[in-house]
Structure 1
Amino acid sequence: MMKHYLKKVMDVKAKRKLLFVQFICLSLISITGLAQNNPIKKAQKETSVSGTLKGKISDIYGEPLFGVTVLNKSKGEHTITDRAGKYTIAGEPGETLVFTLSGYLTKEVEVADQQLNFSLTESTQTEKTYNSLYGPRKKSTSIQSYADIYSKELAQSPTVSYLNALTGRLPGLTTLQANGEPGNDFVGASIRGVAPQILINGIPRDITSIDPEQIESITILKDALSTVMLGQRSSGGVILIKTKQGEIGKQKVSFTAQRGIQSSTRIPNTLDAYNYATLFNEALRNDGKAEIYTAADLQAYKDGSDPIGHPNVDWYKEILKPSSIFSRYNLNTSGGGNNARYFVSVDYLDQDGLYRTSDHNSYNTNVNYKRYLLRSNIDVDITKNLSVNLNLFGAIENGNYPGGGGIYGALATTPNNAYPIFNRNGSLGGNNDFQNNIWGLSTRSGYTLSYNRTISADLSLKRTLDDVVKGLFVKATLSFNTGLGDATNRTKTFAVYKETPNLNGGYDYQKFKVDGVQNAGSSTNTAQNKNLYSEFQMGFDRSFGKHHIGALVNGNIQNVYVNGPSLPLDYKTLASSFSYNYEEKYMFEAAMSYSGLNRYIDNNRYGYFPAVGVAWNISKENFLKENVNWINNLKLRASYGKTGNANIGYFVYDQYYTDGVGYYFGTSATFAYTKTESTLANPNATWEKAKKLNIGLDADFFHNTFNITVDYYKNRFYDLMQQRGKSSAIIGNTYPLENIGITDYKGLDLQATYRNHVNNFNYFVSAIISAGSNKIIDQDEVYREYDWMRRTGQSSSQTFGYIADGFFQNTAEINASPKIAGYNPVPGDIKYKDLNGDHVINEFDVTSLRSNKSMVYYGLNFGVNYKGFDFSALLQGARNRTIYVSGITEWEFQNNGLGQAFEHHLDRWTPATAGTATYPRLTVGSNVNNQASSSFWLQNGNYLRLKNVELGYTLPGTLSNKIGLSSIRVFANGLNLLTQSEFDRVDPETIGSIYPAQRVINMGINIKF
């Protein structure tokens, strides 16, 4: 029955995949047919006059660029480069040609000869525009604080989530990958210490499954001026993703295939059976108990003479493979004519996990994550003044996981001598204390499937109104997004057996648990959401001589439906902005929003959020232009504003009642529930707010080869939703969250880049630094007698506990020292400082443990290219970072003495090692003194990673053109290749009994047609 059912499921999956492929093919065929009025043919007709200019355009690697628009500025005529990057256009020497291609810097050249060959540079920080909330803006006149990155750098990282590709590349953005499991390895991100809002093509969406080759750029917006138009979602900064669009030109097709090997960056070093048993005996002696392992037992563990009765199983090695496979394939095409442009991309990713599997199963029990992505972006000019944009996106994500779950937790808690994997008769080993054989958890507990589907569609219409007022336009957008996720559990049980010799020379087997009971299968809805977004814009952008004015009015509504019966979130925002600059020298910008959310009480749903900014480009002043030629740009800017954050629960202004304890009444045993009052309502609840100051400097030197951007920020977040510390249980209920907290954030963001070349040798180096800290100003804290106990004035990430003061060395020292009340320490226990001098260690000696210094995240990116070869590398790290380690991967013999022990326990305190010990004396189980929260368990979290390396080679165009291809590039890259950290027992990001971060070594090829 099971095999028949599985075959039926596989048939259904195959049909779905076939339909998906057919849909992709039809999309490619139909969309590419939209390119009308082929500009190549038109250009050929236009250039059939006497007097021509011609040449070849390539990128900095020598790869021909086709689709480059070549405009003769003097005559107004244009053409497009062909597949070989060549162009011919009517013109004469002395005239000016302008070369433009999306993703590259526009170049304007006065022609000295009839032959003109050169290369275009890809978009970098020196590009003229960046993406703001509602459209591109000129960098030269920007007052906002932002940082951006482009597709080429994103694609260098062989990672599932684009957030992981941003690590160490953007100042102000910090990331943390706390789990490395395929399908669950998405990265947490913060901008200046606060979680950001994610926008995709200008629409709020929390989607991280986007292939880097579908992304044109990612911009982070950091200050109030850049985000305030989001209203009640403007406080945390913005990650703004812009996907690729089609371009005028001949159809381009790009195919990328890559395959890599993954392995864990670090795994815990456990003790072998002999050392485990030796230390366990020592811990028992320390606790005043009898040893349980004899000398014969220790010898058997040491020499491996009795692998069943005295096993020595390296569980991490036996359960985990040393490596697994990562592969990704992307096919995209773009192009278009004067009336329509298109970009279509399909992407397939397959990522295996590290769990070993068994031939015993007809199904997969390893972790596996498969992702299928389809994106179609179309732009159509219906008339000269009216254009339409349609963006379609679909994602299918399938995951496979062992049915048992909790494998990494079991690896961290199961000693190497607990039981053998298999007994002599092939049954799973185990005993009364260990009834979950890890091999059984991994391979004999069935499997769990996860399915996630996402579909989105964005439709926008834009009408320029130059025929009414020059520079005026209107735009309307309608967007729909839906997601559905479910999990199917097909688990089964397994039995374990304890093998013991019998008197007949054979073996008896004691059974624990039930073997082979299969779950009939259950399906659970894990995610369900719908997102409907509508927007209307009216804008004006025009220059009047030396004056430039920009204005925008934006109104939008977003309905977000989430799991269950909850009513949807309903955001409504009306926003506007106005900007002015004089000769790009003096700049002013103001923005505001009036924003509401239906989760607040009727008469308090809308708030007003303003921001203002000014800038002065000193390099435009005559006194600097005329006297200093090595300064190309020097702009000072400042902004200040008030932003909002709708951190609110579910209609908290209403009082709710829930079912309480039930009782039976009468002879008929009628059952009735009581009603219990839920958390107290808060009709005064409102949105959190922030006042944000940003002061920045943008500078370019030495013919724009050296660029630097510096931002200082100081932000006060207030009206934060917190529960009162000065609450009382006398009311018989729980106090609600109230707008009472205040926290200050301040810091510095810096980015410096140097780019130059020597003949055909191009090189660059770019460094970023993000230094930030926060401080709690007010949180209605309970009364604490001493200053060092108070949370106010500390960082929000502060850890509190005792200050460790070494180890007790002898009885005399113990008698003379303060101790934890109710605990009698012995030599080798951790000694703590008595802060208030009452000779007792208690709550009055608890203080802050972490430094309040600014935490510093940094990155150093550098690279070169020469005659087709290119190389880049990224170093990323953190300073002033601390991590708190505790629990099953840090302490010895947990779980009532059944837990694991690790190599660092060999450095425990004993009378012989009293002067060099780095770990307290060993005990079995919990220890109220040694395992108390204290500075002893606070470790240096500084680290430096070789985060990313890529080496590539692009074949000469003469070779690729001979076989009908535009270019061929082969490359190898890697992720998390090397890590140097002060605390090297674990990965600095994935800490504890969880799936570790992965090291990836990857190779690939990119072919362009």
Structure 2
Amino acid sequence: MSIFIKPFMVLLCCLFIFIDGTGAQEVTVIRPYNQLRNDSLLTDSLKNLKQLIYFNTPKRLSTTSSAMVLGKEFNTTPVVAYPLALAGRLAGLSVSQGNGEPLNEGFSYRLRGQSPLIFIDGIPRSVTEISMEEIESVTVLKDAVSLAMLGVRGSGGAISIVTKKGSPGKQQISFTGQWGTQRPLQNLISHSLDAYNYAQLYNEALVNDGLSVAGNGFSQVALNGFQTGNNPYLYPNVDWRDQVLKNSATIARYNLNTSGGNNYVKYFINLEHINQNGFFKESDINTNYSTNAGAKGYFIRSNVDVNLTDKITAGIYIQGRILNKNNPGNAAADNIFSSLLATPNSAYPVYNANGSYGGSSQFTNNILAQSINSGYSLSNTRTVLTDVYLKHTLDDLSKGLWVKVRASFFSNLNENLVRVKSFAVFEPNGVSGTGETTYRQFGTNSEQGNTNSIGFQNRSDFQELSIGYNRTFSKHGFDAVILANRDNLVNGTNLPYTIQGISGHVAYNYDEKYLAELSFAQNGANRYPNNGGFKYGFFPAAGLGWNINKESFLKDVSWLNNLKLYTSYGKSGKNNTAYYTYMQVYNASPTAYFGSSAAAGTTVGESYLANPNITWEKAKIFNAGVDGTLFKNQLSFNVEYYSNVYSDLSIVRGNNSGLLGISYPEENIGKQRYYGWDAQINWAQRFNDFGYFISANASLQNSKLIYSAEANQRYEWMYRTGHPVGQNYGYLAEGLFQNQQEITGYPTIEGYSPQPGDIKYRDLNGDGVINQYDQTTFGSEKATVFLGSRIGFSFKGIDFSALFQGVLNQQVYLSGNSYREFQSGTAQAYEIQLGRWTPATATTATYPRLTTSSGPRNGAQNNFVSSSYWLRSGNYVRLKTIELGYTIPGKLTKKIGLQSTRIFLNGLNLYTWSSDTFNGADPENYTGGYPIGKVFNVGLNIQL
């Protein structure tokens, strides 16, 4: 047991010190970058990395801030979009998912609080759905030296994806098949009220609002009907979630790739197909098409590198993809979930007694019919990209000198095919003379209509010329590159958006002990005011590093393998893609001077107010860190502090005036600061056939709003400036009024007479009235902490790994139809409202008195205003992925011609620990949207 005690104690101590870090690697490669680069598994990957302008030097000789994860660490994760597999793995990168709909997952990724630029093989891309098997590595770049060469679009950081390449040797063929089952995680819809409780609460809300139950609410007969369920047609109690959603859906992925080469040609070819079904139920009435929300993807990649001569190499990388998405006809999946939030269980039966769809004058859109009887829609996306390069080494002129040219073309097209039909719903209207039920009809049944449209279409071309030099003279090492590139994007009918310029990077080291780096970019874009058509800016950065372990005073410290201090500072930009907003545009429209005809005259007006001084946003980026390896490289760690100031942010002045008669333009006047810590710690150890690893990371992120041109405020507490970016703003709640005596003499919202059970607010200026002068920022201003941890082991043919991901000091604001009762008058209500205030529950209530948002005592105008009452803890920790695999002994598989065979089981989103805020609902999708899936997956990998 002593072999486990030591690393766990080290990790426990270090976690109190370190704040964030990179995701762990496999047992054999859990070492910092300078150790990884010598691993045979990474040789080709790092050669490719070095070709990128953002990775000119190895980590040991670099002052840059980066975190890398190998593709093999996550390529069996059962997702379509690769960012979803990165959550919890990389230092500073936070990934969240707000939706589970196939190809519409609603995920977001932020790097130190910003939106990073994505690169695939060194070229900017907007693609987030590619074959997982084609990814060799993913690296996040966060410091000024790494980002300065991006110039006008580097301030948000970058995610660099390197695809797999071939290597000389015997041809390798690999097939992987995965088959999984998804189960929907709970969200708000899972906690909606049944018809009886809903009707009771609605009647109670009517009374609270001073309205009569008679004629407005549910009679006692109706309450009895809901409770007994004896007449489901007249008194329905429909669990619409159960009617529309399935309890499980399948997902499958198949991948076939081959790689190899010789001294002249190297190749990697990959084919992949993924099929993800959705959670919507289907019906036998649709025999020729599906109404489920499913997706199918087809991916192909061919990477070929050729040695044309001893000094000239060339390559052509081609990728194609087809993404097909299916949905019900007259509504996207989100619209169906909006209907689920807006429709109580008591609204209408699914079917009437005569088999027709149920409905009413108020609810004319039967949710089941909306799902299965409105036709279907198809969304097809087709993408093709081609990258080519030619590189010439110039050792004859000077050893280490080279020149390279490359070009790329990208085309993306989305086409929508909608085959829609309408349906009628019926409401019982009485009984005819023959005793038959009569119905009122709402809507009509129609034949299927067909429409076709282009959803989006874009293309881009990229060209680059680079010259590099890499050489060591005695103890002096030099690595330099200078390049000129042009990136041109045409999106739909927009005019071309072009970024071009030159950039460079120089790295110097003395005896691999003292390090210095300089980066710069002189580039610009074509959408800013400038006589020459382009507006250029200069973006410099510098970094210093010190490999302390190279010093003589540490040469006898046997337990220290590497220790480096490094720092960098520089300037970068963020292109706000201003679409020629510096040009004043006028529009003309017919105007009727007399009568109703619009042909009598024409008025000319400004479409918007132009800003002739618009420019890109800017960032000053500071980074300082220390990393090292100890105990024969078994323990590795990294700690970084960053402070990034973003200025010239494009915002609309908060102190503008409506007297102008037109909206104010965006101006470069905003200023924010993001700062915090990233840290990591990894431990890996092997004993003969047994090896294990433990990795922990956490990222601490602060922000501050420095300037936003706020309107002048009467009181200091009313300003948002000086508080975290995006801090909630409104009233400070002080609980609920318990009785009329508390209300008497207490400050209240102007024009409103509160009732017992209403929220009471703090009177900040003490004037006896609650109004705008009592509004302020509210909620915790502590730094948000993003967590990630990975553990695993291998023993002979068995391997196991698990990934945990979470967030601390996160707060969520609960509002709208996705949380509050009876929004829009008669929408759904939820279990949380059972804890509402009543005279009987006054001391234990967890929710204000109920309201229908109407009537003389309408509580919405007091209780639903922005206030700290609705702010809750959003903390959670999730068992993100887990995998168990077994590799059949080679002596058995080689008898049938197989190099190796691995069987594995894995899971995604298996268990979550979260605050009481979510009441068992998923903490990333708690509002009632398309549920995220919990996936159980089995797979097989065969290598020939």
TM range (shorter): over 0.9
Mapped to 2, the partners of 1:806 and 1:687 lie a distance apart of 46
Query: What is the CA distance between 1:302 and its match in structure 2?
Result: 1.3
Matching of residue 343 in structure 1 with residue 295 in structure 2: no
Q: Deviations along 1:39-93, whole A, 9 cap, x unmatched?
A: xxxxxxxxxxxxxxxxxxxx9999xxxxxxxxxxxxxxxxxxxxxxxxxxxxxxx
Q: Deviations along 1:676-703, whole A, 9 cap, x unmatched?
A: 2022211111111111110010110000
Match of 1:636?
A: 565
Aligned pair partner of 2:918 in 973, 981, 984: 984
Q: 2:49–2:162: 8 Å Cα contact kept in structure 1?
A: no
Match of 1:327?
A: 252
Matching of residue 810 in structure 1 with residue 739 in structure 2: yes
Mapped to 2, the partners of 1:747 and 1:381 lie a distance apart of 46
Mapped to 1, the partners of 2:742 and 2:581 lie a distance apart of 55
Q: 2:649–2:668: 8 Å Cα contact kept in structure 1?
A: yes
Q: Which amino acid aligns with 2:614?
A: A
Structure 2 vs 1, CA of residues 261 and 364 (structure 1 numbering), >3 Å: closer, same or farther? same
Match of 1:575?
A: 503
Query: What is the CA distance between 1:176 and its match in structure 2?
Result: 1.7
Q: 1:720–1:741: 8 Å Cα contact kept in structure 2?
A: yes
Q: Which amino acid aligns with 1:298?
A: L
Mapped to 2, the partners of 1:314 and 1:283 lie a distance apart of 22
Identical-residue share of aligned pairs (%): 46
Matching of residue 909 in structure 1 with residue 837 in structure 2: yes
Mapped to 2, the partners of 1:674 and 1:932 lie a distance apart of 40
Matching of residue 271 in structure 1 with residue 193 in structure 2: yes
Aligned pair partner of 2:115 in 191, 195, 198: 195
Match of 2:15?
A: none
Matching of residue 145 in structure 1 with residue 48 in structure 2: no
Mapped to 1, the partners of 2:725 and 2:760 lie a distance apart of 27
Q: Deviations along 1:650-694, whole A, 9 cap, x unmatched?
A: 112211012346437799973654222022211111111111110
Mapped to 1, the partners of 2:803 and 2:403 lie a distance apart of 43
Mapped to 2, the partners of 1:617 and 1:369 lie a distance apart of 50
Mapped to 1, the partners of 2:230 and 2:78 lie a distance apart of 45
Q: Give the alignment of 1:537-936 within 5 angstroms.
A: 537-564=466-493, 566-603=494-531, 605-626=535-556, 628-660=557-589, 662-663=591-592, 670=599, 673-896=602-825, 898-925=826-853, 927-936=860-869
Mapped to 2, the partners of 1:789 and 1:668 lie a distance apart of 50
Query: What is the CA distance between 1:516 and its match in structure 2?
Result: 2.5
Match of 2:286?
A: 361
Match of 2:314?
A: 388
Q: 1:186–1:208: 8 Å Cα contact kept in structure 2?
A: no
Matching of residue 240 in structure 1 with residue 166 in structure 2: no
Match of 2:401?
A: 472
Mapped to 2, the partners of 1:666 and 1:386 lie a distance apart of 78
Aligned pair partner of 2:435 in 505, 526, 541: 505
Mapped to 1, the partners of 2:926 and 2:681 lie a distance apart of 32
Q: Which amino acid aligns with 2:940?
A: I
Q: 1:147–1:171: 8 Å Cα contact kept in structure 2?
A: yes
Structure 2 vs 1, CA of residues 279 and 60 (structure 1 numbering), >3 Å: closer, same or farther? closer
Q: Which amino acid aligns with 1:227?
A: L
Q: Deviations along 1:709-744, whole A, 9 cap, x unmatched?
A: 111001111111111122222232222111111111
Q: 1:133–1:227: 8 Å Cα contact kept in structure 2?
A: no
Aligned pair partner of 1:949 in 882, 886, 893: 882
Mapped to 1, the partners of 2:935 and 2:258 lie a distance apart of 28
Mapped to 1, the partners of 2:708 and 2:206 lie a distance apart of 45
Aligned pair partner of 1:288 in 185, 201, 210: 210
Match of 1:42?
A: none
Q: Which amino acid aligns with 2:416?
A: A
Match of 1:86?
A: none
Q: Deviations along 1:949-983, whole A, 9 cap, x unmatched?
A: 01100000011101111111011111111111112
Matching of residue 297 in structure 1 with residue 226 in structure 2: no
Q: Which amino acid aligns with 1:965?
A: L
Q: Deviations along 1:904-948, whole A, 9 cap, x unmatched?
A: 111111111111110011111361111111111111010110011
Q: 2:918–2:926: 8 Å Cα contact kept in structure 1?
A: no
Match of 1:261?
A: 181
Q: 1:969–1:1007: 8 Å Cα contact kept in structure 2?
A: yes
Aligned pair partner of 1:999 in 925, 934, 940: 934
What are the ranges of 5 or more consecutive residues in structure 1 without an aligned counterpart? Answer: 1-58, 63-102, 108-119
Instruction: Provide TM-score, normalisation by structure 1.
Output: 0.86
Q: Which moved more, 1:916-925 or 1:609-618?
A: 916-925
| Structure 2 counterpart SS, 1:338 | coil
Mapped to 2, the partners of 1:504 and 1:705 lie a distance apart of 87
Q: Which amino acid aligns with 1:1005?
A: L
Instruction: Provide TM-score, normalisation by structure 2.
Output: 0.92
Query: What is the CA distance between 1:850 and its match in structure 2?
Result: 2.2
Structure 2 vs 1, CA of residues 610 and 364 (structure 1 numbering), >3 Å: closer, same or farther? same
Q: 1:494–1:517: 8 Å Cα contact kept in structure 2?
A: no
Query: What is the CA distance between 1:349 and its match in structure 2?
Result: 0.7
| Structure 2 counterpart SS, 1:575 | strand
| Structure 2 counterpart SS, 1:297 | helix
| Alignment size in residue pairs | 895
Q: Deviations along 1:609-650, whole A, 9 cap, x unmatched?
A: 000000001100010112x11111110000000111111421
Mapped to 2, the partners of 1:131 and 1:938 lie a distance apart of 48
Query: What is the CA distance between 1:501 and its match in structure 2?
Result: 5.0
Q: Deviations along 1:482-537, whole A, 9 cap, x unmatched?
A: 11112122111100011255153321121111112432x11221111110100000
Q: Which amino acid aligns with 1:415?
A: P
Which ranges of 4 or more aligned residues in structure 1 deviate by more than 4 Å?
Answer: 59-62, 103-107, 120-132, 664-669
Q: Which amino acid aligns with 1:914?
A: A
Structure 2 vs 1, CA of residues 137 and 131 (structure 1 numbering), >3 Å: closer, same or farther? farther
Match of 2:32?
A: none
Matching of residue 176 in structure 1 with residue 96 in structure 2: yes
Mapped to 1, the partners of 2:50 and 2:311 lie a distance apart of 24
Matching of residue 311 in structure 1 with residue 236 in structure 2: yes
Matching of residue 971 in structure 1 with residue 911 in structure 2: no
Specify the structure having the higher radius of gyration (Cα).
1
Match of 1:33?
A: none
Q: Which amino acid aligns with 1:766?
A: S
Query: What is the CA distance between 1:187 and its match in structure 2?
Result: 2.3
Please tell me the root mean square deviation across aligned C-alpha atoms, in Å. 2.1
Aligned pair partner of 2:370 in 427, 431, 441: 441
Mapped to 2, the partners of 1:903 and 1:61 lie a distance apart of 46
Mapped to 2, the partners of 1:134 and 1:585 lie a distance apart of 21
Match of 2:5?
A: none
Mapped to 2, the partners of 1:836 and 1:666 lie a distance apart of 54
Match of 1:23?
A: none
| Structure 1 counterpart SS, 2:667 | strand
Structure 2 vs 1, CA of residues 667 and 831 (structure 1 numbering), >3 Å: closer, same or farther? closer
Mapped to 2, the partners of 1:395 and 1:925 lie a distance apart of 49
Q: 1:486–1:526: 8 Å Cα contact kept in structure 2?
A: yes
Mapped to 1, the partners of 2:402 and 2:230 lie a distance apart of 84
Q: 1:124–1:149: 8 Å Cα contact kept in structure 2?
A: no
